[in-house]
Amino acid sequence: MIELFTADTPNGKKISIMLEEIGYDYKVTKVDISNDEQFKPEFVKLSPFSKIPLITDHDNNESIFESGAILMYLGEKSGKFYDQPDRLKINQWLMAQMGTIGPMIGQHHQFHHYNPGKSEFGEERYFKITKRIYQELDNRLKDSKFLAGEKYSIADIATWPWLARHEWHDIGLKNYQNLSRWYLEIAKRDAVIKGYSFMNKNSKIPGII
């Protein structure tokens, strides 16, 4: 049994989608980050940077923090979406999500969605960076069905939830043909639909208008 300590965020959705994709039984333990539950000593002991998600694999009493590391662990454990022949490319695109796509779009959320009007510099900077990320992903997906190649992988699972907040970005996902194709194809997967709404069964994946 996998226990998933998480909140309803893009990083949290990465892991619920992966668990649905590989068909593992899992238990969700909500961490209320709005009330700083991630800073409780018992949580910090397992997640040193006080971040969600975190999993505990009760089959071997192993806890893993950082969403990318969790995806790699589950990919290796299940033998799915982390194929050895494609692993170098998967790792590169996974690290791109961890180091650039998530952090930069996350800052765009902070300045543009949560705190508009507080920093013109911050709003402009992260809007431009997020727009550039859209274009870079679109360029990649012009030449490749999925991010790491022709097969769906943990790199796609890591990246997709950030694009699922495209309505917050005010960039216009519909203007990026290849990125839109990729987004909609993944959005139709049963495991993605279930994993997206893992904490709120009424949650619907945003379409593209």
Average pLDDT over residues 181-205: 95
How distant, in Å, are the alpha carbons of 20, 50, 62 from that of 148? 21, 30, 28
What is the pLDDT averaged over residues 164-186?
Answer: 97
List of domains in the chain:
2-81 (3.40.30.10), 84-189 (1.20.1050.10)
Q: Note the helical H segments in the chain.
A: 10-22, 41-44, 67-78, 87-96, 102-108, 120-143, 154-163, 166-169, 177-187, 190-196
pLDDT at position 202 is 86
Residue 19 pLDDT: 98
Task: Report helix angle 177-187 to 154-163, nearest 10.
Answer: 110
Query: Who contacts 33 (Cβ-Cβ below 8 Å, separation ≥6)?
Result: 7, 9, 52
Residue 22 has a pLDDT of: 98
